[in-house]
Chain A
Amino acid sequence: MKTFLSTIKFDYLQRTRSYSFLITLCISLAIAYTFVPEPNATYSTIRIADHVGYYNSAWFGYVTAIMTSIFLSLIGFYLINNSINKDEITKIGHITASTPITNFRYLLSKVLSNFLVLLTIVCIIFLMSILLFFLYNDGYSLEILDFLIPYFLIPIPAMFVISVLAIIFEVIFRKYSIIQNIGFFFLFSVLAFSSSNQETQYELDPFGTKIVMHHMEETVRDIIQVEEQTNLSIGYVLGNIEETQKFEFNGLSFPVSFIASRLMWMLLGLILIVIITPLFHRFNMKEKLRNTISTPKFLQKENNQEIILSELKKSNTDYRIFSLVKTELMLLYRKGKRWLWIINIIGFVLLAFIPMDIAYPLILPILWFLQVHRLSEISSKEVYNNVHHFAFTSHKPLRRLLTSQIIAGTILMILLALPLIVRFFILFDLLSNLNIVVGAIFIVLLGSTIGIVTKGKKLFEILFFMITYANINKIPFTDYFGGLHHNSNYLIYLIMITVILGTIGFLTRGYQLRN
């Protein structure tokens, strides 16, 4: 048992002692800060009709617990869904596979260390919610149980379920990270938005939020005395703050069946791990690389057994970056499974034929998001693949290599958006085309800069996901490609941000190269 706990402990320490996890914690703090809007803020997070709760302990505790459960379930999955893959990359998996640890124990240790990682973030948010209470409360005293109870019953079991799901997706879909990402998003949407609001079925809600939201709605219905459904909104809703009315929300006493259901969800998670254990590869994975790649036809053996230096052709200097751009494009093309290009082709065709008001604001960001695994390591793959010793001792690596990576990424994104660009060109809509080009450069630079700064890819993957999710939901300030804004002022604003982003990336890489 002690050794089992040690494996969890050291796995957890290894994952949390990283610069990117520190950044993740900072971002979690920043997001948690927005969970309960400050009194004069122009947005709301949980709102029932025109009502929000008085800022008492219960409101802070329950609202932040609900927001944590929903948002961290979604984002947390993407944060932790590479724990087995990381063992494969670092070759720790091969050592593990040769030890007596059983597959179930190994998977369980991964579930628990995933859970600890998410729990750390929950704790940070919990502390932030108490801090927010002291900053904004409406003269109420702190009731610590109003914080503890919802956190224990809502996000914590949900985080366990997410930890289990991350392992299940990794075991079943192995290295197909894009399928894991899309598959989980689909599952999350089904679970979050399609589960019944029937009071008797709250036990079926893995996030544990519906029972509280239903209670809030009931309370507001009692106040405004209407029978029909009240409109409860959750998420970041802008405007409409002037008409806000306040109501007293004092939490709720959770039924025993609900408490038992939270434990049952965790138990179900363990059962699922037992079920998928036989499917675990135990790092006996055959690398499926292409058998052959075409090479120039002149390669014919002349049976030279040694390198004779005097016979080697002399090198010519060529500092142009065309060859680098070509290889970077090739690396982008070959990244990931070839058959996944079918999805890109489908998106490409959709951009050509479906109405512009769907193609531009909806299909384009989704199609671009599908390149997330390419963009996330566009400027960090040297480090990731341990090629940086070659790359960073090359001729002017900052000016030549980084530039070629950004150019290659931009070319890819523009090529994917080509049908839309052609359609706008036919309509003489230059502004939209400029928006698309700037958007392509922006998202490539975002991936590049975050990769350079964090030396990892996870943060960009999560951020790009959040941006795309916001794009699909038409949240204006995440519109990086002009899908919602059609004016030149917005384009100038986008260009400025893009330039700043590029400058940060180049300066940081320059600093890294010098040091």
Chain B
Amino acid sequence: MKLEIKNVSKKYNRNKYGLKDFSITIEKGILGLLGPNGAGKSTLLKMIATISKPTDGTIILNRNNILKDANYIRKQLGFLPQDFGVYPNLNAFEFLEYIAALKGIGGPNLKTKIQQLLEGLNLLDAANKPIGSYSGGMKQRVGIAQTLLNDPKIVIFDEPTVGLDPEERVRFRNLISDLAQDCIVILSSHIVSDIDTIADQVAVMKNGGLLSQGNQEQLIKLVDQKVFETIINKEELKNFKDNHIVVSTARKVQGLSIRYISENPITGSTSKKANLEDAYLYLTKIN
């Protein structure tokens, strides 16, 4: 299972690119896509999902050019878009049956499978109510259920944890880890904590380009020995931000506790163990 994205660009007008000369190779496991808003994550995912076509470049899945044969990937794709809707007059069961029909899935097992999915996502009690009456989190779970209908080999989740409560997030992470045993899972988010515990590989994007790709240790190594913590006065914050990359601030009795990234720490700072969020902020700020 290999998905190769080669020199892909999406040009909107003369000067505006959604993606620019983007290349990445994705294999079985979980790829976490990190990047600020407008980095091009959703553009990339829509291209892989065959919703959008690149202006240049190719996307190849197992030696098949999916830009020429979109149905090759569609048959094995589970896609949860960032912002999706539902038919409000259908109930969850009917909606999933409809999506299954769209995907070309049927047969005697379908109803049982839908039941298993609804039950596993804690939607069975509400399965006979119209989806229009569902909360945001419930709709999101229906969205997750539909990705699994066709036993996908490539699963794309674009900001999947929006609307999920903490318990559901944990269950969702377990599900993704389970899925990644046999599939390519691409998980896009700008919330680092959604990715850092489960992603095998992390790609950081900004302005339509790939800043860095590697496993978590490789990325964290970029900021190794560069993360510090100190306490400053509130008035000094602006000046401090001009000279260092501030990761987080917290109010304390003594002043503001600052976690920051710098190659020249100020006196009195204590060195801290770097994490993925530090690496992500470092990469997106220096580029």
Residues of A whose CB lies within 8 Å of any CB of B are: 287, 289-296, 298-299, 301-309, 311-321, 323-324, 327, 330-331, 334-335, 381, 385-387, 389-397, 400-401, 514-515
Contact = CB atoms under 8 A, between A and B. Distances in A.
A363 to B, nearest CB: 28
A305 to B, nearest CB: 7
B127 to A, nearest CB: 6
B88 A289 contact: yes
Nearest to B106: A318
B115 to A, nearest CB: 6
B137 interface: no
B56 interface: no
A312 B113 contact: yes
Interface residues of B, number: 66
Nearest to B102: A394
B130 interface: yes
Contacts of B83: 386
Contact of B53 (A295, A305, A317, A515): A515
B253 interface: no
Contacts of B110: 313, 315-316
Given A394-B102, A396-B71, A385 B120 contact: no
Interface in B77-117: 77, 79, 81, 83-91, 93-94, 97-113, 115-117
Given A324-B98, A514-B53, A393 B77 contact: yes
Given A305-B122, A309-B179, A315-B109, A296 B93 contact: yes
Contacts of A293: 90-91, 94, 128-130
Given A317-B105, A389-B84, A395-B102, 19 more contacts: A289-B132, A292-B129, A299-B118, A301-B119, A302-B119, A307-B178, A308-B178, A313-B109, A314-B151, A315-B107, A317-B106, A327-B94, A327-B97, A335-B89, A386-B83, A386-B84, A387-B85, A392-B50, A393-B51
Interface string B137-163: 000000000101111000000000000
Contacts of B222: none
A218 B16 CA distance: 65
A354 to B, nearest CB: 33
B171 interface: yes
15 contacts: A293-B130, A299-B127, A301-B119, A301-B124, A301-B125, A309-B179, A312-B148, A316-B105, A318-B101, A323-B106, A327-B97, A334-B90, A385-B88, A387-B87, A396-B71
Given A305-B122, A316-B107, A387 B86 contact: yes
A330 B108 CA distance: 21
Interface in B40-82: 46, 49-51, 53, 71, 74-75, 77, 79, 81
B106 A331 contact: no
A385 B129 contact: no
A515 B70 CA distance: 12
A373 B106 CA distance: 30
Given A307-B148, A393-B50, A324 B101 contact: yes
**3 A-B pairs closest in CB distance:** A318-B106, A386-B85, A316-B107
B102 A295 contact: no
Contacts of A396: 71, 104
Given A307-B117, A327-B98, A393 B79 contact: yes
A55 to B, nearest CB: 47
B269 interface: no
Given A299-B93, A312-B117, A327 B109 contact: no
B174 interface: yes
Contacts of A299: 93, 115, 118, 124, 127-128
A391 B102 contact: yes
A294 B151 CA distance: 27
B192 interface: no
A395 B91 contact: no
Contacts of A387: 84-87
Given A291-B129, A387-B84, A389-B84, A312 B102 contact: no
Nearest to B120: A307
Contacts of A320: 106
Contacts of A301: 119, 124-125
Contacts of A318: 101, 104-107
B245 interface: no
A295 B127 contact: yes
B120 A295 contact: no
A321 B175 CA distance: 31
B30 to A, nearest CB: 14
Contacts of A331: 87, 89-90
Nearest to A309: B178
B231 interface: no
B111 A298 contact: yes
A312 B49 CA distance: 24
Among B112, B119, B129, B171, the most chain A Cβ lie within 10 Å of the Cβ of: B119
B121 interface: yes
Contact of A394 (B103, B112, B121, B178): B103
A79 B118 CA distance: 42
Contacts of A290: 89, 130
Among A289, A294, A309, A393, the most chain B Cβ lie within 10 Å of the Cβ of: A393
Contacts of A321: 101
Contacts of B99: 390, 394
Contacts of A296: 93, 111
B53 to A, nearest CB: 6
A304 B112 CA distance: 13
A327 B101 contact: yes
Contact of A315 (B49, B105, B127): B105
B51 A389 contact: yes
A299 to B, nearest CB: 6
Contacts of B88: 287, 289, 385
Contacts of B84: 386-387, 389-390
B225 interface: no
A304 to B, nearest CB: 5
Contacts of A386: 83-85
Contacts of A334: 89-90
